[in-house]
Structure 1
């Protein structure tokens, strides 16, 4: 909430629309490239010229601006729009904490992610074949394989980050083709990532956000297709260059996959792929014992997905291909609660049911050590749900077993630690009730360096001869 003068989002939108898109968006691209470049985001830049502001201003001008002479475009004009966005009042009622914080976190935090690990994860889960999972062919979408698309997008991201636009005719160098990606791959990737202003507006209509009541955190067509073709003279513009690599993240491809592989098949296999991928990651922990799910009763009620035995504790791990839908991401309380019940609350109940069997020394879990090691739960979700551990009502409460929610990105960093350090620090984290209410990265502390992850470095089946994995119930999982 702002202490200064407040305005409606519609007032901000109308201010953006007074600028000509073919002038403001190229300026935004250049300005963002000059500010952020190819390096990481600095705290001062995040405070004064955050990339999410560039994306929001670009969206409103693109969707509502007219291709007629408009207000002058310069840094002062952009600063005015950014200041207006800061002063927008989002709510007509007294909002809850979750309503305020959920959309802000999910709008801003992805920009601070790691493009290398995000792209590696997309390849490892959505393209690579392993065990019972065939390689997924994304050629119908990109005109090439997903690994080729990732390499090409990486190059385009670099070009966009230098100038805020992409012109292959002027910037092409044969060394790019020799060392990074062939010219034809770049052209195919460019075609996929680019839309005309008219096509962007059509996508907004299809998503239901080209309306005056649409809010700041509703769908932005630049997130799926971050480049804009204004025709001869302006070239291909990247209004916010950091959106280029986001376009082929798992978050975006989740909505593309059903059109290629069929909705039912895609979603069902994605859930199983994520569960198996978590197992592959856990097997990177040197010397740990890892077992898969088992039946808990005569009715064949299944346990959690993975049992991980560490020197200091036993970890019960449940995997969910959970993500907040568009309405929840925009702060809709009802959708947050529904997502929590479907995914997080169910996972907590599964962990509790399994933990009771372990504490009872049930024969179905007799493969676990019979000692006094603490039992904790971890829920792995495909994408970060930033308030999942907070205890705010919309995200549910703790069950009987101390449990935390981790994203795949956090897991990928966790498994890179030496086993003794991982075990002791994890035990310390779960010991603190206060810390269990934080995001896992904040609670665990420094050292989660996923760029060292062997699976992300070379996508494919993990191999670790020193990690002991016992098949529990599902043939071929390993």
Structure 2
């Protein structure tokens, strides 16, 4: 067995100035395959995660007083060390079931294409419609936080991602002042490009400070070091020397503008202005936007109703299909890094995140079944199924062992992600209703991945393209490549 400590020592044999550019060059080649497709080999998938971990360890623990050269054999050895390290599996304090979930969180980035999260962020934060009281942060607020308008920050991040891919992981900021940049300036001004580049860039010393602060907040134990915070998720571009910028793992450039990353940036900036509530409204609106985008589905939105003489609010959405009616609750709360890493707090966090949603779904089902007049437009002659839509994956939430921790309900309930909603909203109503009904009523079906279970039930290999997301990419991001 290789310990994570041995992996760390192996990485430290190489100077960051040698190792990081080598990782950047290799990572950029894999990233180029993930821009539009997800047809990676198993080895390439493993390298994505390993390269990111090797870069993190090199930045945090490496030094320049090393003279060993870096070639492909060295990279292969370090990748193998990473995958063989098993500290957590031998820690009696770590529940093996939670540890499996930690691996799922680690590997979630392999699902979908590299641009999915960026398009999701754009649609959710720029094109959803919410009540005026929750329409914050506004354009000026985002500019204060990101240094550029949110639209330009998104486009700039995508631009630097493409630059990194085409430059073997090297980002030459001088191109912003070149004549060639003129054709891009309409989409991203030179000023905004520089400000976004500054936002995404850090020195190794700054990376170390960021990691130390995160470690103090999260308290991830040593045995789970593999799953601890990677500073590249905040500043994916590293300035090794003045003017020399590289992206050790270009995937992180797009991740900086992901819903998850912007959520945490927003909470640090505007927690006192109820950013969490405003963000939750966006998650709810985005769910409805996806369900309605094809025009195929019958979708009813939240409404007020009378309950025991007082006014209450229904669930967020109702999706009506030929075979079932789905009651939908959207939740924007996120798992802590400690829970994602597989700590003993994992089941408790699950319970805290979705207990309220389960109760709300069950109450709505009772109102429908009991014939509350306010619910007359919601069919009660079909099976009722609850859906909890989580802003981020809550792996194993559909597993019977987790389900036992949650309230008993009169209807079956599934927990799905925004990505699941994006995928299943492309189906025909009959197929979607039939697949989710089968999954919800068969405890062996949900597993860890609802989308995969849907494909299995329907006997198909993939989902149709999501027109809403494709059109957003063509309209907003494709011009960045012109």
TM-score range, shorter chain: 0.7 to 0.9
From 448, 454, 457, the counterpart of 2:472:
457
Matched, 1:187 2:194: yes
Q: Is the 8 A contact 2:298 2:321 kept in 1?
A: yes
Q: Partner residue of 2:257?
A: 248
Q: Structure 1 343/224 Cα, relative in aligned 2: closer, same or farther at 3 Å?
A: same
| Distance in 2 separating the partners of 1:232 and 1:363 | 68
Q: Structure 1 242/354 Cα, relative in aligned 2: closer, same or farther at 3 Å?
A: same
Give the deviation of 1:253 after TM superposition: 0.9
Q: Deviations over 1:140-163 (max 9, x none)?
A: 122211111111111111111231
Q: Residue 188 of structure 2 aligns to a residue in which SS?
A: coil
Matched, 1:350 2:360: yes
From 12, 20, 24, the counterpart of 2:15:
20
Give the deviation of 1:47 after TM superposition: 5.6
Q: Partner residue of 2:348?
A: 338
Segment of structure 1 superposing worse, 179-188 or 384-393: 179-188
Q: Structure 1 158/49 Cα, relative in aligned 2: closer, same or farther at 3 Å?
A: same
- Write out aligned runs for 1:318-467 (5 A): 318-334=329-345, 336-371=346-381, 373-393=382-402, 396=405, 399-445=409-455, 446-449=461-464, 451-453=466-468, 457=472
Give the deviation of 1:169 after TM superposition: 2.7
Q: Structure 1 414/359 Cα, relative in aligned 2: closer, same or farther at 3 Å?
A: same
Q: Is the 8 A contact 1:389 1:405 kept in 2?
A: yes
Give the deviation of 1:199 after TM superposition: 0.5
Matched, 1:158 2:162: yes
Q: Is the 8 A contact 1:314 1:375 kept in 2?
A: yes
Give the deviation of 1:116 after TM superposition: 3.0
| Distance in 1 separating the partners of 2:6 and 2:403 | 30
Q: Partner residue of 1:96?
A: 95
Q: Is the 8 A contact 1:281 1:412 kept in 2?
A: yes
| Distance in 2 separating the partners of 1:352 and 1:455 | 35
Q: Residue 274 of structure 2 aligns to a residue in which SS?
A: helix
Matched, 1:276 2:291: no
Q: Residue 389 of structure 2 aligns to a residue in which SS?
A: strand
Q: Partner residue of 1:475?
A: none
Give the deviation of 1:250 after TM superposition: 0.8
Segment of structure 1 superposing worse, 38-47 or 349-358: 38-47
Segment of structure 1 superposing worse, 446-455 or 351-360: 446-455
| Distance in 1 separating the partners of 2:59 and 2:429 | 50
Q: Is the 8 A contact 2:325 2:385 kept in 1?
A: yes
- Write out aligned runs for 1:4-403 (5 A): 6-39=1-34, 40-46=37-43, 49-91=46-88, 92-93=91-92, 95-128=94-127, 130-133=129-132, 134=135, 136-137=138-139, 138-162=142-166, 163-169=168-174, 173-174=180-181, 176-177=183-184, 181-208=188-215, 213=222, 215-232=225-242, 235-284=244-293, 285-286=295-296, 288-295=298-305, 296-298=307-309, 300=311, 302-334=313-345, 336-371=346-381, 373-393=382-402, 396=405, 399-403=409-413
Q: Is the 8 A contact 1:382 1:408 kept in 2?
A: yes
Give the deviation of 1:339 after TM superposition: 2.0
Q: Partner residue of 1:463?
A: none
Give the deviation of 1:41 after TM superposition: 4.7
Q: Partner residue of 2:458?
A: none
Give the deviation of 1:393 after TM superposition: 3.5
Question: How many residue pairs are counted as aligned between the two chains?
Answer: 452
Give the deviation of 1:293 after TM superposition: 4.0
Q: How does the TM-score come out when normalised to structure 2? A: 0.85
| Distance in 2 separating the partners of 1:286 and 1:188 | 42
| Distance in 1 separating the partners of 2:45 and 2:453 | 28
Segment of structure 1 superposing worse, 104-113 or 298-307: 298-307
| Distance in 2 separating the partners of 1:395 and 1:61 | 42
Q: Structure 1 287/66 Cα, relative in aligned 2: closer, same or farther at 3 Å?
A: closer
Q: Deviations over 1:11-63 (max 9, x none)?
A: 21122122211111111101222344344454435467521100000001101
| Distance in 2 separating the partners of 1:302 and 1:455 | 34
Give the deviation of 1:131 after TM superposition: 4.1
Q: Residue 100 of structure 2 aligns to a residue in which SS?
A: helix
Where does the alignment leave 5 or more consecutive residues of structure 2 unmatched? 456-460, 476-482
Q: Structure 1 170/320 Cα, relative in aligned 2: closer, same or farther at 3 Å?
A: closer
Q: Residue 241 of structure 2 aligns to a residue in which SS?
A: coil
| Distance in 2 separating the partners of 1:324 and 1:211 | 13
Q: Structure 1 104/437 Cα, relative in aligned 2: closer, same or farther at 3 Å?
A: closer
- State the Cα RMSD in Å: 2.9
Q: Structure 1 187/101 Cα, relative in aligned 2: closer, same or farther at 3 Å?
A: same
Q: Is the 8 A contact 2:31 2:251 kept in 1?
A: no
Q: Structure 1 232/395 Cα, relative in aligned 2: closer, same or farther at 3 Å?
A: farther
| Distance in 2 separating the partners of 1:14 and 1:395 | 42
Q: Is the 8 A contact 1:308 1:317 kept in 2?
A: yes
